[in-house]
Copies of this chain bind each other. A is one copy, B any other.
Amino acid sequence: MRTDLRIIKTKEALHTALLDLLNEKDLQMVSISELCRKAKINRGTFYLHYGQVEDVFGEYFKEITEDLTQSYQEPYRYVTVLKTSELNPSTIRIFHHIDKYQPFYRIVFSKKVPLTYYYLLFDKVKQLLLEDNQSLETEGVNLELFSAYQANAIIGMIIDWYQHDFSYSVSYLNQQLVTFLNLK
């Protein structure tokens, strides 16, 4: 049983209306009424699918994080000078993904936005690293905890990147990450 066509139409209308409004104003400034007017959707219908405007963005952003898993399949050709052998196959693609969807991540990392988006990214990155780490099989290491540690470390670099207005290049970040891993 597929999803009702009307639901798909409603959600698409809300998604595009929100993207439109985000060019004018911040996410927290978009009211449900305003969004529904723009999407030509009854406000009551909105509440049948969402609770807040933030949920609409969350649904859209979730699709974006899928790209992380997607691009994980393809070969990575964006690293130039450094020895990539020292990085996990998944980690190396992360900075590129963020760069690709930079306008979205400017929202995801803005301070008034709910933590949900952060967790969507965190859980995704953690999952990728967890798969890479399965081969480790080390004694006394809580693998999930370790993956959480690694995943968030990388996101820490992304936060610093964001706080510096995304002014570093992707390859600089990959280089720095290799350096950090060799420091210990």
Contacts and interface: CB of A to CB of B under 8 A. Distances in A.
A76 interface: no
Contacts of A42: none
A41 B156 CA distance: 40
A116 B112 contact: yes
A56 interface: no
A145 B116 contact: no
Contact of A183 (B138, B152, B154, B183): B138
A149 interface: yes
* Of A111, A145, A148, most B-chain CB atoms within 10 Å: A145
A85 interface: no
Given A114-B111, A184-B181, A184-B184, A148 B157 contact: yes
A114 to B, nearest CB: 5
B122 A115 contact: no
A118 B152 CA distance: 12
Contacts of A149: 153-154, 156-157, 160, 177, 180
- Say what secondary structure dominates the interface of chain A: helix
A150 B160 CA distance: 12
A176 interface: yes
B157 A155 contact: no
A152 B145 contact: no
Interface in A136-184: 138, 140-142, 144-146, 148-157, 159-160, 176-177, 179-184
Given A145-B160, A150-B156, A182-B184, 4 more contacts: A111-B119, A118-B118, A145-B157, A153-B156
* 6 A-B pairs with the lowest CB-CB distances in the bound complex, closest first: A152-B156, A153-B153, A148-B160, A148-B156, A184-B184, A111-B116
